[in-house]
Amino acid sequence: MKSVPAARARPSRLLIATWDGAGNLPPERTLVRELVRRGHEVHVVSHDSAVDRFRCDGAIVHRYENADQVTAAQPFPRDREFAMLSAQVFESEALAADLVAVTHAIEPDACLVDFMLLRGLARLLEEDVPVGVLYHSMFLDALLGRLDSAWRRSGGAFAGRSLAETFDRLPLVLVFSYRQLADRAPAETVQFVGPIRAPATEQSGARGDGEPFILTSLSTGFMDQADLLQTIVDAAAELPARMLVTTGPSLDPSAFRVSPNVELRTFVAHDEVLPGADLVITHGGHGTIAAAVGAGVPLLCIPCGRDQPLVAAQLAQLGLAVVLPREAGPAQIRSAIERLLGDADAKLRSRSFAAGLDPFGDVGQAADLVERLAVRG
């Protein structure tokens, strides 16, 4: 991607409104660090659990004073997760009021709002400040449509339009994904900057003695995924392959029974091991799939919820993934792994797709676009 020139006469005061939703934070933090590096005064308002991370990035951090405190590790009942997140985050009037209060207090040159903060976005669009959106998933009409009811309940000047129509009319929507994964071409102000993150500093050489190498990751947040992860590990027990599993902070690696060909760790930077991977098994979270797609590695997706079924379906349609239901047993998962490891066409499709992608996105373009939004105001 080419950077967009942006002439700025002075450093800007910027406000980024976000929440602790796990996969949204890495690209947003990358953007914050770049804007701080350029000399801007960057304010972030978020839940308490993310405050220290943004402070380490150089931001001036504000907390939601009256909204419910939400963390990515918070256990939601699977059948009520969307409703509870909608009440506490997406449609929260308390969160929206806190966001407006911070906006009035600091008087920013521009505001950037995580796209899941629907009521907060609706309220800011009524304020006299340029507003952009930070979008951290695939740009899919089906995903936007799933949020339409909540968006319309949030009120405001755009409540009569769908969320997709609203985004097409905003001055800036930064999409932390690949345009090639989207299901349509949106307005020109919807800008795809890729899954922005810092490049890996080293590669671990995960490929060992010639055996296939599989990376498995089922979210950094809580998705009630322990049973599924054990099923995947059981499926790998009889395979002539090595598997590295990253559990994230929500699960204890020592709680799982594993065979000698499986290694569990709390965290490994995926970019360090993906160059040696033959397959990635994932829940379909955007951060993991974007890294795998950018590295040209085939995917086995087992969605756990949220946007993951939609993301997985789009990957399957593009020929980049095989999708299994969450209820799949060890034999079904093992069969899919064996099929993908032996599928030369799947490997070729994944590598060909990756050939036109910037695996680490373009944070320079993202920052340029934010600067242009602030200057416009």
- Please indicate, yes or no, whether residues 78 and 217 belong to a single structural domain of this protein: no
Model pTM score: 0.91
- Please indicate, yes or no, whether residues 187 and 275 belong to a single structural domain of this protein: no
- Please indicate, yes or no, whether residues 73 and 50 belong to a single structural domain of this protein: yes
Residue 53 inside a domain? The answer is yes
- Please indicate, yes or no, whether residues 220 and 283 belong to a single structural domain of this protein: yes
Burial of 44 (0-12, 13-18, 19+ CB in 10 A): buried
Residue 29 inside a domain? The answer is yes
The mean pLDDT value of the chain amounts to: 90
At 131, list the tokens. 């507003």
- Please indicate, yes or no, whether residues 246 and 283 belong to a single structural domain of this protein: yes
258-273 pLDDT, tens digit per residue, is 999 999 998 888 899 9
Residue 3 inside a domain? The answer is no
* Rounded Cα–Cα distance for residues 330 and 61 (Å): 45
- Please indicate, yes or no, whether residues 155 and 126 belong to a single structural domain of this protein: yes
- Please indicate, yes or no, whether residues 98 and 167 belong to a single structural domain of this protein: yes
Residue 304 inside a domain? The answer is yes
Of residues 222, 313, 217, 226, the one with CA closest to residue 272? 217
Q: What pLDDT, on the 0 to 100 scale, is given for residue 78?
A: 62
Q: What is the mean pLDDT of residues 129-152?
A: 93
Structural domain total, the chain: 2
Residue 219 inside a domain? The answer is yes
Q: What is the mean pLDDT of residues 364-370?
A: 98
End-to-end CA distance of the chain: 25
For position 282, which CATH number holds? Answer: 3.40.50.2000
Q: Report the percentage of the chain scoring pLDDT > 90.
A: 70
* Beta strand residue intervals within the chain, DSSP E: 13-17, 41-46, 60-63, 110-114, 131-135, 173-175, 190-192, 213-217, 242-246, 262-265, 279-282, 299-301, 321-323
Q: What pLDDT, on the 0 to 100 scale, is given for residue 2?
A: 47
- Please indicate, yes or no, whether residues 236 and 97 belong to a single structural domain of this protein: no
Of residues 154, 265, 281, 264, the one with CA closest to residue 218? 281
**AA identity, residue 339:** R
Residue 205 inside a domain? The answer is no
262-306 pLDDT, tens digit per residue, is 999 988 888 999 999 999 999 988 999 999 999 999 999 999 877
- Please indicate, yes or no, whether residues 339 and 372 belong to a single structural domain of this protein: no
- Please indicate, yes or no, whether residues 128 and 31 belong to a single structural domain of this protein: yes
- Please indicate, yes or no, whether residues 43 and 192 belong to a single structural domain of this protein: yes
**What's the domain range around 339?**
213-354
201-233 pLDDT, tens digit per residue, is 666 555 556 899 999 998 665 567 788 999 999
